[in-house]
């Protein structure tokens, strides 16, 4: 009997045909069935690796990465996912490239893609830019494939943009699915996506936006909490409201961290910058107004420092369901007394949740691999079965 | 029936036995048969990949890259070629190395080559240096292999030097062969390799030199055009003249862009720096004379700016054969009104030729792979046949 | 008949069971049998590669490298070793990472290891730090594997720390074993590990410490020579003394280069910084006392320059056994009149020994691969036999 059967059965009842040859920009562009397919394939690939069975579906081929911001977790998760499937990562380090501005996105996209099966991009710094850039890249390579320039059309995986952080929040969801024993058990669970104090400014909005856009798909009660002035992109709130209505869950906002934590099953306290301020910063950068940026940063730090009480302490955790909510973070966290004087979370809370936090992160490589797999493999069920039957050892014992 | 037969038949009528175990420094060191073998193998490898058949001839092994100048196209072409054949690229980033000067070229060459099958080097900045450096590297690894230090002798692929840019101009030629329906159809075609205005100074001479050194091999009428003072290396002109005589083509020079474009089948308008100025700059760098360099750069920019009329406009294109010459560029181009105020080519000409330009670039990975293949494989015909028969899928469908 | 039999027979008489799943921090934490196993497996892997037989034991998987100091030889040796076994190297470039300080070693170690089979670290700059850091990393990934965060427990290979440089000195030993015709022939041979003048300050102590800690295992007469004030870590001297007593060799110290060279079979003249000065420098860095560091460096250079006579000249070489001692260096060497005005070795001595020096370096990839192999493969003898029987070509001929 094939162990893959379990995953294949689940896939058989989902409709994800449109994922073949498609990209992954934003979770809300995917149907529930498609998201479920990612979770199922991620589990299947993890099962194969844990049992020392190779999941290589590529004999050769490149995966291009482009990080416009520092990254450890996402960089290594992407490298792991690509290696698992048989692709070699080639980093497009813009500092070592001849990349010019404006017009040449189209050109660069084609020039790096002659043998690229995947392009992973992280571009989260400027409002209105990151996701738009990714779409330009995809448009360019689609045309390149159509025009006979490229042999294959590389799939884009959004490794974080200004709007969403799909590989992160899909990994977060895979983690809570595992912790709560199934995606069906998420229904009715309360998750508090709350702002938290950090001594740094300008942290991206993609995680809170990604969380409210995704977690509302599963019938959860999603509460977004932040001090007045720390609003997120309103369009994503609209999406969250719509999702909550469709899934039988709820989407609420509050300016009280306590209210959000009250009876929560899951808490996700994390700093971010006000959307309006990020818009303004993007504009200032556009005008090369560096004194303006410097002034804005000072204002943001000052604004942050009036909210040092937004910290995930043991006292706060006691407000949660049975005092035992699952604590999430995308890492690295600002830990009070450890990585900074005062931060997002107290050392004792962080320490207590260290193992589940690291497990949360461990889903990202498999989520990315599943996104690639579903885009590249025509018949995922039979390929999974074949991988198990082929039974190539990942490592000689 | 094997599809590879077509390529194998062509290879059977060419003599390229000396390529086995050899390097690729300059196109004019290769016979016509050897160049043809590169084009044929490049086509065969492209055919295999387009049909999802693996062309891996290495189970493991390293390809070392050394870029002494920024690069996108060549970097990714080299990475693609090596990945196609089964080699992992390891970049020698001199900034992260302990590489000293002078004496240690020999040492470094051996230290990076213990498991290296290929070394690709780009070193185009200083006259008299780049190609010479490559030969030092090859001398060192030959001795290393002879002396039992290295298990294998890595093959050098010149990824651009001060004299030639063989992977570029071989890819350019592969492109025009495809566009004109066969290498035999190049005979009598007129190509205009012309200078064009750019607001930057000091662009390498390797492309114009490579073009006149190579295109004269095929019986083409090669016209080199530039404003007075923008001479290229005279030794390469001698080679072009000799080739033209041998192949029944011609090699002409003019100081008129119009004359060059007149009735041309192919135009290649591209900026470069005067050879004499580059020689002078090399000398100034050698003496650490930075004020001298700064003065020279100002002079070159001023000199350039007196030739803004050297632009590939629609009007200029109308002078070509039927107004329909094939426009070539090694990219990135300086496009007037797009990447700069005034540049090498007008936006409308560039836009019209975008697809063929990107196709031109798409040959480079295959040309590089073919150079490696012919150096590493003892019996290319039978290996190509075996690859098709083996029929390992490049990607599970 | 299997050629691997020769190596398998040797392995059968050694007890190295504890190496499975273990790390390689310091040579003196390994038994003689375990060190012998490394030499034997290194030889076997070299034999396979020289005979074009693949030694890939991994179908996929990552090897993480972290270099906190510039490196060419070790970087490429590590890349070669990992590629030989089937692992793809992913470099953790701390400049491109979100790595913070202190607490997060544990976090980073897990975040990079989701699919990592090996972690190679070079961290040799600060006394009391490098080796300690590696142990923190190993502790973290052991916990990660235990807690179900990591699928596999990556093996650490110490690529140079403040105490030892095991891959270097094991490669050095593999070289002298080959030169003297067997490990048993090292007994009674005299090796002079001597300080030598260099115009640079602050060279690591890991090589002299590694040499006296390792070479005393084989019954050799090990003499450590340096000008007064250039003491190495006293704890390692204690280890050397103990090893010499156990193996029937000797460990002596002297402040005379001549005395050390006298009748030596092997000489290893190489600059290093005084241990006490490196301790002080570490402390100054800890306090961000940059003027203190600057003062210290000036003092060290001045101190060095009083010992310019510590140079490995032809005259010095004539003092050695029959004037024909084997000259060793970890490279790059400071060669008088070549890479500096006055340095560690005269040009004529260096030139005469160039080939053996490069051969010495050529063992490092195999030594690293053997360390990984013995940690990852449960039954090395049968795996070696299987690799030969499988006989996958490394390269299609």
Contact B60 C75 (CB under 8 A): no
Nearest CA in chain B to C359: B149
- Determine the Cα–Cα distance for residues B355 and B179; give it in Å rounded to an integer: 12
Nearest CA in chain C to A393: C59
- Determine the Cα–Cα distance for residues A133 and A129; give it in Å rounded to an integer: 6
- Per-residue pLDDT, A107: 94
Regions of chain B short of the pLDDT cut 50? 100-102
Q: Tens digits of per-residue pLDDT, C306-338?
A: 999 999 999 999 999 999 999 999 999 999 999
- Per-residue pLDDT, C201: 83
Match 């497009």 to its residue by tokens.
A92
Contact B97 C72 (CB under 8 A): yes
Q: Is A61 left (phi over 0), alpha (psi -120 to 50) or beta?
A: left
The whole-number average pLDDT for the span A197-224 is 96
| Joined tokens for residue C247 | 């193996």
- Per-residue pLDDT, C237: 98
Name which of A358, A363, A368, A392 to mutate to probe chain C: the one with the most chain C Cβ atoms within 10 A of its Cβ. A358
Q: Are B285 and B293 in contact (CB under 8 A)?
A: yes
Contact A62 B77 (CB under 8 A): no
Contacts of C114 in chain A (CB under 8 A): 76-77, 80, 361-362, 364-365
Assess whether pLDDT exceeds 60 at residue A101.
no
Q: Are A188 and A215 in contact (CB under 8 A)?
A: no
Min distance B331 CA to chain A CA atoms (Å): 9
Q: Tens digits of per-residue pLDDT, A325-357?
A: 999 999 999 999 998 999 999 999 999 999 999
Contacts of C72 in chain B (CB under 8 A): 92, 97-99, 108, 111-112
Contacts of C379 in chain A (CB under 8 A): 397
- Determine the Cα–Cα distance for residues B166 and B164; give it in Å rounded to an integer: 6
Contacts of B396 in chain A (CB under 8 A): 57-58, 377, 383, 386
- Per-residue pLDDT, A102: 39
The whole-number average pLDDT for the span A99-124 is 86
Contact A396 C100 (CB under 8 A): no
Residues of B with CB under 8 A from a CB of A: 46, 49-50, 54-56, 67, 70-73, 75-77, 79-80, 83-84, 86, 88-89, 331-332, 335, 338-339, 355, 358-359, 361-362, 364-365, 392-397
For C60, which of A67, A83, A364 is closest by C-beta distance?
A: A83
Cα–Cα separations (whole angstroms), residue A140 to A87, A103, A145, A154, B42: 22, 11, 9, 10, 25
Contacts of B338 in chain A (CB under 8 A): 102-103
Q: Are B24 and B368 in contact (CB under 8 A)?
A: no
Contact A71 C151 (CB under 8 A): no
- Determine the Cα–Cα distance for residues A62 and A90; give it in Å rounded to an integer: 7
Min distance B157 CA to chain C CA atoms (Å): 19
Reply yes or no: is the peptide bond before residue A397 cis, omega within 30 of 0: no
Contact C111 A331 (CB under 8 A): yes
Min distance A147 CA to chain B CA atoms (Å): 7
Min distance C218 CA to chain A CA atoms (Å): 32
Contact C62 A80 (CB under 8 A): yes
Nearest CA in chain C to B93: C72
Contacts 24+ apart (CB under 8 A), C132-135: C133/C105, C134/C23, C134/C25, C134/C158, C134/C161, C135/C25
Assess whether pLDDT exceeds 80 at residue A97.
no
Contact B332 A144 (CB under 8 A): no
- Per-residue pLDDT, C104: 83
Q: Are B232 and B188 in contact (CB under 8 A)?
A: no
Match 């060190």 to its residue by tokens.
C35
Min distance A60 CA to chain B CA atoms (Å): 6
Contacts of A67 in chain C (CB under 8 A): 96
State how far Cα A207 lies from the chain centre: 7
Question: What angle do helix axes C354-362 and C166-180 make, rounded to 10 degrees?
Answer: 120
- Determine the Cα–Cα distance for residues C29 and A142; give it in Å rounded to an integer: 57
- Chains with ≥3 CB–CB distances under 8 Å to A: B, C
- Determine the Cα–Cα distance for residues A73 and B44; give it in Å rounded to an integer: 40
Contact C72 B112 (CB under 8 A): yes
**Going by DSSP bridges, is the β-strand pair A266-270/A190-195 parallel, antiparallel, or unpaired?**
parallel
Return phi, psi of residue B47, to 5°: -60, -45
Q: Tens digits of per-residue pLDDT, C266-301?
A: 999 999 999 999 999 999 998 999 999 999 999 999
Contact B57 C395 (CB under 8 A): yes
For B378, which of C335, C362, C397 is closest by C-beta distance?
A: C397
Contact B86 A60 (CB under 8 A): yes
Contact B71 A96 (CB under 8 A): yes
Reply yes or no: is the peptide bond before residue C332 cis, omega within 30 of 0: yes
Contact A98 B71 (CB under 8 A): yes
DSSP-derived 3-state class of residue C387: helix
Regions of chain C short of the pLDDT cut 70? 1, 96-103
Return phi, psi of residue C143, to 5°: -65, -40
Contact B148 C88 (CB under 8 A): no
Contacts of B77 in chain A (CB under 8 A): 114
Name the strand (E) or helix (H) holding C81: helix C73-85
Mean pLDDT rounded to a whole number for chain C: 95
- Determine the Cα–Cα distance for residues C177 and C171; give it in Å rounded to an integer: 10
Min distance B6 CA to chain A CA atoms (Å): 21
Nearest CA in chain C to B99: C72
Q: Tens digits of per-residue pLDDT, A295-329?
A: 999 999 999 999 999 999 999 999 999 999 999 99
Contact C149 A355 (CB under 8 A): yes
- Per-residue pLDDT, A144: 97
Please, what's the b/e burial string for C340-356 (b: 16 or more CB within 10 A of its CB; e: otherwise)?
bebbbbbeebbeebbbb
Contacts of C90 in chain B (CB under 8 A): none
The whole-number average pLDDT for the span A10-33 is 98
For A59, which of B89, B364, B394 is closest by C-beta distance?
A: B394
**Going by DSSP bridges, is the β-strand pair A116-123/A62-67 parallel, antiparallel, or unpaired?**
parallel
Q: Is B86 left (phi over 0), alpha (psi -120 to 50) or beta?
A: left
Min distance A17 CA to chain B CA atoms (Å): 14
Min distance B332 CA to chain A CA atoms (Å): 8
- Determine the Cα–Cα distance for residues A45 and A84; give it in Å rounded to an integer: 9
For C70, which of B58, B90, B97 is closest by C-beta distance?
A: B97
For C149, which of A72, A358, A364 is closest by C-beta distance?
A: A358
Contact B107 C331 (CB under 8 A): yes
């Amino acid at each position: 009997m094939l162990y893959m059967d379990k995953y294949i059965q689940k896939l058989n009842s989902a409709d994800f045909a449109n994922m073949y040859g498609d990209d992954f920009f934003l979770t809300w562009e995917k149907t529930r069935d498609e998201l479920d397919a990612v979770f199922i394939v991620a589990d299947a690939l993890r099962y194969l690796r844990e049992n020392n069975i190779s999941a290589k579906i590529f004999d050769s081929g490149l995966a291009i990465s482009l990080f416009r911001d520092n990254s450890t977790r996402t960089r290594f998760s992407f490298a792991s996912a690509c290696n698992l499937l048989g692709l070699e990562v080639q980093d497009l380090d813009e500092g070592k490239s001849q990349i010019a501005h404006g017009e040449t996105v189209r050109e660069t996209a084609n020039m790096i893609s002659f043998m690229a099966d995947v392009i992973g991009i992280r571009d989260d710094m400027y409002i209105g830019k990151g996701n738009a850039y990714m779409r330009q890249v995809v448009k360019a390579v689609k045309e390149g494939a159509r025009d006979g320039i490229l042999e294959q059309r590389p799939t884009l995986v959004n490794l974080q943009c200004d709007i969403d952080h799909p590989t992160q929040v899909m990994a977060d969801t895979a983690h809570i699915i595992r912790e709560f024993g199934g995606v069906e058990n998420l229904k009715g669970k309360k998750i508090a996506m709350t702002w938290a104090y950090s001594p740094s400014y300008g942290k991206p909005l993609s995680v809170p936006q990604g969380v409210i856009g995704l977690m509302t798909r599963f019938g959860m009660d999603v509460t977004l909490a932040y001090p007045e002035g720390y609003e997120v992109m309103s369009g994503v709130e609209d999406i969250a409201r719509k999702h909550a209505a469709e899934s039988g869950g709820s989407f609420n906002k509050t300016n009280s961290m306590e209210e959000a934590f009250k009876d929560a099953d899951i808490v996700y306290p994390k700093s971010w910058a006000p959307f309006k301020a990020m818009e303004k910063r993007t504009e200032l950068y556009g005008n090369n107004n560096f004194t303006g940026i410097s002034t804005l940063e000072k204002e943001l730090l000052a604004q942050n420092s009036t909210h040092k009480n937004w910290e995930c302490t043991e006292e706060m955790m006691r407000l949660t369901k049975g005092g035992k909510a699952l604590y999430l973070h995308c890492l690295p966290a600002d830990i009070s007394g450890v990585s900074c004087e005062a931060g997002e979370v107290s050392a004792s809370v962080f320490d207590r949740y260290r193992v589940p936090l690291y497990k949360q992160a461990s889903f990202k490589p498999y989520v990315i691999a599943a996104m690639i797999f579903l885009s590249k493999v025509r018949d995922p069920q039979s390929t999974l079965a074949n991988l198990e039957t082929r039974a190539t050892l990942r490592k000689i014992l």
